[in-house]
């Protein structure tokens, strides 16, 4: 492998996912690819914000990353199957003990938080008791009673919860050989995705463009630091673009202080693999 670590992209049922947090940050820092967070918990799934790892990448982004030799794609289902079947007793034991260690750590953290909470409520109760000792004593007794009941009842289910707590690793990178079942690099020869490739190569970041009615929102830097400059659509070289789409896209983009970008690459006519440059056009309302 090359000195900058190649990023492992998992292909699972046709989707391209990156699970490893370090790989995600490397993609963002070095390959200006932020992807879309799509991970959620099986229980209490959040709606569409506050999602976590993994990130999903677009097929054309993956294509561009393969072309620039930043990443490689793995058939993750096959990799997991073969890893599970070929697990020797030693690595199996190592895996189980690492899970146990994580579980213990989680347990410890949980117990600490519980203890902290308990001490806070205890100090509150003490204060309350001192404050109201001069007032009616019967009510004080009542609150103290219910509090005692709670503090009696609370820890025991919590504790049982802690013992039941399982740890699901967010990434299986330590247990599945990273190179296993790597898919052959197949840089697509079509012109499709050439705009995405061009923009990634020019240092632009992209997020889904649906909220502005286009394919990409294009940022001059990290989307957390910049506003988008363009809403972009890729077209085939001879693909028909209705003028009404240009008017609509141009008008909307200008209204949100962006330019409407259309672009694509002319298919190379000669077979000697010399690709023609990507042509892009920026469209803004003329203000007249």
Partner 1 sequence: MDGPHRYSADVASAVFENLQDQHQWASLEILSIPGLSRPMIRGLPPRLLYLHPDDQIAALAYEKSAGTRAQHDAEFEWVLAVHLAEKWTLSNFAAVMDALPDDRKGAKRIVLAALHNDSTVVYYIVQEGMIKPRQN
Binding site residues, partner 1, CB under 8 A: 199, 202, 204, 218, 220, 229-230, 235-244, 246-247, 250-251, 253-254, 257-259, 261-264, 266, 279-288
Q: By C-alpha distance, which of 41, 60, 61 is closest to 50? A: 41
For partner 1, the closer of residues 14 and 287 by Cβ is 287
21, with CB counted inside 10 A (0-12, 13-18, 19+), is middle
Q: By C-alpha distance, which of 9, 34, 56 is closest to 222? A: 34
For partner 1, the closer of residues 207 and 254 by Cβ is 254
CB of 237 to partner 1, least distance (A): 5
Inter-CA distances, 130 with 17, 123, 133, 221, 273, Å: 58, 11, 5, 58, 85
For partner 1, the closer of residues 238 and 272 by Cβ is 238
CB crowding 149-168: b at 16 or more within 10 Å, else e: eeeeeebeeeeeebeeeeee
CB of 58 to partner 1, least distance (A): 19
Question: What are the structure tokens assigned to 7, written together?
Answer: 């990023």
For partner 1, the closer of residues 107 and 207 by Cβ is 207
Residues tagged active-site: 219, 227, 258
CB of 204 to partner 1, least distance (A): 8
* Residues contacting 135, CB < 8 A, separation 6+: none
CB of 281 to partner 1, least distance (A): 5
């Amino acid at each position: 492998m090359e000195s900058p670590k190649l990023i492992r992209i998992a292909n699972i049922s046709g989707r391209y996912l990156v699970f490893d947090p370090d790989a995600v940050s490397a993609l963002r820092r070095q390959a200006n690819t932020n992807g879309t967070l799509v991970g959620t918990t099986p229980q209490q799934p959040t709606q569409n914000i506050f999602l976590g790892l993994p990130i999903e990448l677009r097929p054309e982004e993956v294509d561009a990353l393969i072309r620039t030799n930043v990443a490689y794609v793995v058939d993750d289902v096959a990799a997991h199957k073969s890893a599970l079947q070929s697990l020797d007793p030693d690595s199996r034991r190592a895996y189980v003990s690492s899970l146990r260690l994580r579980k213990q750590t989680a347990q410890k953290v949980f117990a600490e938080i519980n203890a902290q909470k308990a001490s806070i409520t205890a100090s509150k109760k003490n204060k309350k008791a001192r404050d109201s000792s001069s007032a009616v004593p019967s009510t004080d007794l009542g609150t103290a009673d219910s509090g005692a009941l709670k503090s009696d009842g609370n820890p025991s289910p919590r504790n049982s919860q802690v013992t039941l707590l399982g740890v699901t690793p967010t990434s299986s990178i330590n247990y599945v050989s990273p190179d296993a079942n790597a898919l052959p690099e197949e840089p697509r020869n079509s012109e499709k995705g050439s705009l995405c490739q061009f923009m990634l190569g020019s240092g632009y970041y992209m997020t889904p463009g649906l909220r502005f009615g286009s394919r990409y929102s294009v940022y001059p830097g990290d989307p957390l630091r910049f506003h988008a400059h363009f809403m972009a659509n890729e077209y085939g070289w001879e693909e028909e673009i209705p003028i009404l789409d240009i008017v609509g896209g141009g008008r909307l983009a200008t209204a949100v202080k962006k330019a409407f970008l259309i672009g694509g690459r002319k298919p190379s006519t000669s077979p000697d693999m010399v690709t023609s440059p990507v042509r892009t056009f920026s469209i803004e309302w003329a203000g007249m």
